[in-house]
Structure 1
Amino acid sequence: MTFNLLIILFFSYLYSFHTSAGPLLLTCGLNSGGTDADGRKWEPDTKYLVAGMDKSAATKSDVQDPSLPSVVPYMSARIFHSGSTYQFSLQNPRSRTLLRLHFYPSSYPNVDVSKSYFGVVAGSVLLLNNFSAHITAQALSQSYLVKEYYLTPSKSPFLNVTFQPAENSFAFINGLEVIPAPEIFNAEPLLVGSYVDAQTFSTIPVVNSNMETMYRLNVGGQFIPPLSDSGGLMRMWYDDSVYIYGAGQGVAVTANASIGYKKLPPYTAPLDVYRSYRSMGAYVDVNKVSNLTWNFEIDPGFLYLVRLHWCDSEMVKVNQRVFDLFINNMTAAREVDLFGLTDAVATPITKDYVVVTENVTDGGYRLWISLAPTNGTMPQFMDVLLNGLEIFKMSDNFETNLAAPNPSISDLMRKGHKMEHKDFEENDSTITIACGAGGAAAVGVAVAVMCILCRRKKRAGSKGDSRTSWLPISRNLNNTNNTKSSSVVVISTDAASNCRYFSLVEIINATNNLDESNIIGVGGFGKVYRGVIDGKTNVAIKRSNPSSGQGVNEFQTEIEMLSRLRHRHLVSLIGFCEDNGEMILVYDYIGRGTLREHLYNGNKTTLSWNERLKICIGSARGLHYLHTGSKYTIIHRDVKSTNILLDEKWEAKVSDFGLSKTGPTMSKGDVSTAVKGSFGYLDPEYFSRQRLSEKSDVYSFGVVLFEVLCARPALCPNLPQEQIGLASWAPRNVKLGKLEEIIDPELKGGISLDSVAKFTDVATRCLADHAGDRPTMGDVLRNLEMALQLQQKYMADGDDGSTTSQQILPRDIDESRPNYHENNDLTFSLYVNEQGR
């Protein structure tokens, strides 16, 4: 008996090395562990490292930045030169796990952190991919990073966290936190947009969604440190004031009533969140025509859960304070009456909403949250209220990916570094950026740059205030993004003379004061309105998002390009406006919208194969003109079905030249450039090598061709893995002779097999991995014209009762085929390592 007891105790002792009775805090590379500035104990990481221990090394930073909140865990690190795994025993695998990763991309002996690229996988969830802590910290103007994740319950009693360096690179980590978390995402939040569009409430399940914390704000209050958080989760809650848009800051108020959780679980948020709030103030006349708005930079192409914390400690009956909630300019909730929801004073509640974000190509995406008083119920006060706000990036039930490309370093930041460090190289490899994240900020004057840098240094060095000076997890709002003036827009004399200049008054008159009912589209640059100029001419008016300083480069490029390009198959620019800091472009109105709308977004028009071929030919002619018809080669860089417009005669017009590149060197070969474009259409060679050529447009157009044939989006995350990417799925099925399995069911007959064979042959060659194996756009055009001739010959022969060409037989529409609605066309993050980086 004694022997058996010793055996049990021995194995219990061994097991204790891999389990934790509560929150587990690991300082990496520090064998003795340590205590942070908050008094929290951190363990060494060595006993949890089960794979790759022999290829890792402990190290210490050479430099301690004054903004670091604590020496532990940031001044020590573990370096991995090959794949390495930490393993943690989960107390309750059926509950969520809160995982935090701490990075301090500083100077370490014998390694260059600027050359560190790696991925992190927790369980089966891809958290980071081709991640550069150095680039991210520079772009966000932070010295250290905290990445926080809520992982769904696991079928395994263990959680494995694996660090995988990119080829010829290394990974590193300074600290990890593994905390058992209660199920704080147990509701089904409202899907924003369904209320307005369908007049019905739609919810989305989140129980199987892994989450990344993007922002956590104590609205109207001060920074709340980890030890003051509730539920043992040790979260940090930040001041919201830096995210408020415009001059309407409202007023920060402290509750004058006793606050208790009542029916709300204590772990939801600390009571300090509900004791402070922000409202609009007592100016009724001002409040009637204004709102309280916050805006946040996020990664495009994901779903986001927005959680609002409310606690009204003032109103004692219904219809005293009533307001509307808007998320991304869509109505999320109407006539919110907090007393009506709780039927009590000083009672905390939360409400969750999910918003779908689109892919953008102008370098960034912003999430807007607005509260506006409503007069619909004739409330006693014209006011709003918010206590706390959390924003989480979501994975969905089909996709276990939360990774996004590294953010970009803005032009302003780059210029500031160059002024501060004379040896800064503008084309340094450390600022190479992956497509689809971050953005190009307006270049400010030197004095402004230095003032901003000086303020940052002063703030970072303030004793006792360093932690609260840094902005929330993952993101930092660069104040320069909100600075925009016409002085930063430089239009050449030649461009200005070739198009019309509009005043802002003319734009307002043309759109009926920018009436929302005139909106015909929304893109990465901003909203597109239908308008009328000179009392008779229909135009499309594209207005840059007025909250952002981004898009200046795209604005200038569009004007410079289209002012000197005139072609039947290119959209025509009429003029522009830059009054009052606006960036507005005016085009010919193209009445039938985008090609995509007529393929799979529920439009009533079904295009015949003959019509689709003519549209493809028109598009190819426009692109061929860009590549060969002007003084220099012009590369569009964002060819996709939403950038091909159709006029009343179904003529194709290539649009959106904001990302285009041109120059005398273009005609002599490919050029090195920061990657821009849309996921699903992006040339893999351009993506992996940053080498751009006209063959990059050819690749993107190949994806469009298969969109036309298959009537499905370039990326479908809700499909099985092998079907997600059209660029790989369609050619594979063509090669296997399964053409009828991929062709649009609406094309049920009357199609020449010879025509389709010619079409798929050229589309497949467009998608060759190497640019040298792809045809030129001129070759593509000739093959499409031949496919049209074969189709028209088949149709003519059919009229005579004879057939000289095989036909794809009619077939029933497959009921199991996915409904490719716009909401399913989510941007899917590419795994950069698969592209050779």
Structure 2
Amino acid sequence: MIVAEIVHHRHQFSMAIHHQFYTVQHSLPLLLLLVIQLSSLQFHSHGYDLQNKYFINCGSSSNAKDTESGKTYVGDSSQVSYSKGSKTESNQSSVPSPIYQSARIFPSQSFYEFPIDTAGTYIIRLHFLAFTSPSNLSSATFNVSVPNFMLLQNFTPKNYTKSPLVKEYYVKISLGKFRFTFDPLRFSFAFVNAIEVFLLPRFLIANSVTGFDPQPAIGQNSLSTYSGVLTRALETKHRLNVGGNNITSSADLLWRTWFLDDTYLIDGQNAKSSQYSGSIPLTAGPDDDGPNANSYTAPENDVYGTARWINVTSENITWSLPVDKNVNHLIRLHFCDIWSIQADLTIFGMYIYDQFALLIGDDRNVSNKLPAPYYYDLMVQSDNSGFFRITVKPNSSAKVLRAFLNGLEIMQMVDSSDLSYLEDHSNGNTSVLPVVLGSVLGGLVLVALVVIVLVWRLKTNKQKPVEGSDWLPIPATAGGSSHSRTSRLTDGTIQGSPLRNINLGLKVPLQDLQLATKNFDEKQIIGKGGFGNVYKGVLKNGMKVAVKRSEPGSGQGLPEFQTEIMVLSKIRHRHLVSLIGYCDERYEMILVYEYMDKGTLRDHLYNTKLPSLTWKQRLEICIGAARGLQYLHKGASGGIIHRDVKSTNILLDENLVAKVADFGLSRTGPLDQHSYVSTGVKGTFGYLDPEYFRSQQLTEKSDVYSFGVVLLEVLCARPAIEPSLPREQVNLAEWGILCKNKGILEDIIDPTIKGQLDQNSFRKFSETIEKCLQEDGSDRPTMGDVLWDLEYALQLQRGAIHREPHEDSSSSASASLQLPNVRRLPSLSTLSEVDDMSIAMGDRSDTADDSVFSQLKIDEAR
């Protein structure tokens, strides 16, 4: 594309020369002029230079030399233009650098303007220090924008009275005049101490990079191509010299500052620091576009010559860095193997938000001559935790166990803004008028909407059936009481509702559910289980739902009902069901879930007319379910143990995204020094952990065993218990392990997928099953380990990792990392527990009886 652009520009100029040449009768002066214009269009083909650079000492006519970088900042009156009406102030007290001894102050909307004669990506920096002055700089509040981008909004420097703040951005700039607009808020002013604007090497920031989605939809790859990076601005959020010291701007060819990573490390005692004694050779020039580093990518000896590393497969190094929520960021990771004498020995995993992102060390585009500095760029959207979690972890399959990181940069993407209101206003106060008018009009519209909604609500309430409606037969034991089902104990004593601490905003009126299910018509039943019937329904807002209703008037399932609401109202994850609502009116116990179009995982495996799932689809479903269980185990205070993992409790949406459901038997993990929870045995035969059954000591590894059975179901497409088979084949887990030990596991694979299996993928998957089904819980992997193995099996199936059969026979590295955005559940420690031997002889539902929840609001559900 870049070559095409160059050819296009040259073609345009050649056409211009041709036209002008014949128009002016071979006019030599004009021809010379055009030649000069052509030469001014720089293609950077002969090396990078800093012809276009501005370092401006604002508010002063004198030059100032920066103490740290050594650069000379020129007085603003000599190189650039700025708005009239501004004023200057100076500071005579001690400052970190002479560039902070003056400031230009703008009492109204004003600008700085820079002539640009070379188009490209520029780095721009704004320096602020609110030194003591008559204007009281710390009280300023203002916006700063450049064409198409708002860089600072409602900015105040009140926290920067002693040390300066430097805001750094990467912006693509066209030929012409480039303007910084300073727009004070009403009754305030704007100021700046220094400005930098200079051209970057052409390939320092690429327009297309790899995009990474930590939780891709089923059928979608987590890696993709992200184009259009340079159509936005990038703001530097973090620049870390990992394992090394602070790097001042004088040691960086682009005058960047690199900071220590210590404060961002999680469990930093696991990370070792190293420093290379020799010099780091560079194999790339200024015009090379990566992944090999050049002299402008980072200071080679200071960044690539230091690192943090680890060489234990059960450990990892994780950094947690604060960022804005739910915003795209460009993450640049710097690597240099300063230990190995040969390439391809050290291969390890890099994770973001505890999800596998890249395999580092096997890139053939990286120089084989060690040490070889290189980098990777990823575009990733931050989640709503306010932090990025970045992890490196050794790969047990590598010849040398080591994971490392040398440097890390995080740049936030700034979307383009409509700044047209700035064009016709020279006074900052007048620009406030449209905002004020908009706010007033918006407020009037909001008031009108509220009045309309209230009138409508009053009208519809009058039309609703009264409490004695004939919609629903009320059990004789109810006596017409309007008490909720959960407010009466089995001994008949009226008590306060056990759900009083639950988010009652999720409560759905019974009449709404009657309407949704056609008064619980039998034709709407889509499943039956021990809890009761499951109905398909449509709410008034058009949302399809699955409504799970207990048998009216029965005393069954109250603890499970309470537990499921308490769990699902407190946690949320892409691969766990999300609660829409519940109803406990008139002795009812009803749970409302989002309708799942594809039903349960078991529906797609055997005894079904549905199309067979491909092996790749099955792997992706297993990965989704493992992510959900991993979050349960590590994402809550003390962790949550599901206790009823099976194929009918793994649900699939229209895109075959897996979600773990049915939390009625869930328990919080151990809260004391024990590694288990003593409790009565509950679960489903065929999936039940034998160690838990014998000892009644529940651990996270009990879920791992059950999940191992699910993995076998997925592979073999048969039930966990099949009494009609010969005795040794009745229990799938026992039969599967026996076949694995005999080396005949391939003989019992689902015939519909036999021809699809990559042998390495199948081998990794079968090893994972074997580890999950170990008799001793301590020998089983964590769910994080299982997730890592499954993701690796999927990569092998996709052909992303090329290995010879049996080259990767060792067990995979653990990935049991804590997940971000954890919502703690202190109330879950009080979950009621009936310690009886409650074990289902089989699955409690034959169809999609458990569908996922959603936090979506429903009409009149609040």
Q: TM-score range by the shorter chain?
A: 0.3 to 0.5
Larger radius of gyration: 2
Output the TM-score relative to the length of structure 1: 0.44
The TM-score, its normalising length taken from structure 2, stands at 0.42
